[in-house]
Amino acid sequence: MAGGWEAPIALTTMEVLLLLGGNLGDPASALGEAERWIAERVGTVLSRSRDHWTAPWGFTDERLFLNRAVILRTALEPQELMAELLRIENELGRTRDEAKRYAARTIDIDILLIGDSVVDIPSLQVPHPRLHERAFALAPAADIAPDWRHPVKHRTVLQLLNDLRQPAV
């Protein structure tokens, strides 16, 4: 509109539940730096869990993992969000060995949930496909989002965590 005023386009935002973790170097510093960069480049951090120290999952290592859940509000589309989180991981020294799926790392940033959305594309699956199997992810998530409902399992984060703690029948 030449010479006139145009209303700004409203950006759609979504709330996202992330898990930050690491066990190499100084995990507390790496998680803190990752959280700062997420706030600067990805969206507004709304909440963060307390820190949880846990044993490695899927492999053996003498170093514990530090895990922290974060809720953020972002206007980025899921693929853009994943790309930016991968850039942050790389800038914080994350290296990937494609031969080893699970290994020690300086930083790992996983998208656990995006609102009540389901994303299933080759480069991204949300909800995280193994969230319901991982107490190390569910416990920090339950600190800040116990009632967030998994859109496929139709259970809350807290229910999924409690399910893992129940003896198998």
Known active-site residue 50: no
Catalytic residue among 105, 130, 134, 143: 105
Whether 101 sits among the annotated catalytic residues: the reply is no
Contacts of 49 (CB under 8 A, 6+ apart): 68, 69, 70, 140, 141, 143, 144
Say how many Å lie between the first and final Cα of the chain, rounded: 67
- Under DSSP, the state recorded for 104 is -
Active-site residue, from 48, 68, 94, 134: 94
Burial status of residue 7 (CB atoms within 10 A of its CB: 0-12, 13-18, 19 or more)? exposed
Active site residue 63: no
Instruction: Please pick, among 68, 108, 147, 155, the residue that the annotation labels catalytic.
Output: 108
Query: Residue type for 120, please?
Result: D
Helix (H, G, I), strand (E, B) or coil at 123: coil
Q: Is 94 labeled as catalytic in the residue annotation?
A: yes
Q: Which one from 110, 120, 134, 163 is the annotated catalytic residue?
A: 110
User: Which positions are catalytic?
Assistant: 94, 105, 108, 110
